[in-house]
Structure 1
Amino acid sequence: MAEPQEFEIELVHKTQAVCVGMFRLSAGEDDPRRCLLALECQLGQFQAADWNYFDALCQIREQLELLGWRPRCYGACEDVYPSNMCRDMGQGMVAYRNEIGRPAAQEHLVETFATSSEIEPASVEQQRVFFQRWLQSPR
Structure 2
Amino acid sequence: MNSSNKVVKYHDGTGIYEADVELIIENSCILKFSLKNGDVYIAEGDDFFSCLEEIRSINKAIIYYCKGCKRNVFPSRMARQMAMGLSAYETTIGKQARIEDLVDIFDYEDKDLVSDPQDQYEWQQRWIATL
Report the TM-score, using the length of structure 1 for normalisation. 0.86
SS, match of residue 4 in structure 1: strand
Superposed structure 1 runs of 4+ greater than 6 Å apart: none
In 2 relative to 1, CA 90–105 (structure 1 residues): closer, same or farther, beyond 3 Å? same
Residue 36 (str. 1) matches residue 44 (str. 2): no
In structure 2, the partner of 1:106 is: 99
- Out of 40, 46, 49, the residue aligned to residue 44 of structure 2 is 49
**Distance in 1 between the 2:93 and 2:112 partners?**
18
- Give the aligned residue type for 1:54: F
- Unpaired stretches in structure 1, ≥5 consecutive residues: none
- Give the aligned residue type for 2:36: Q
Identity %: 23
SS, match of residue 2 in structure 2: coil
Q: CA deviation at 1:64?
A: 2.4
In 2 relative to 1, CA 120–22 (structure 1 residues): closer, same or farther, beyond 3 Å? farther
Q: CA deviation at 1:16?
A: 6.8
**Distance in 2 between the 1:124 and 1:16 partners?**
22
Query: Cα RMSD (Å) of the superposition?
Result: 1.5
In structure 1, the partner of 2:75 is: 82
Q: How many residues are paired up?
A: 129
- Unpaired stretches in structure 2, ≥5 consecutive residues: none
**Distance in 2 between the 1:119 and 1:6 partners?**
24
Do the aligned partners of 1:72 and 1:120 also contact (CA within 8 Å) in 2? no
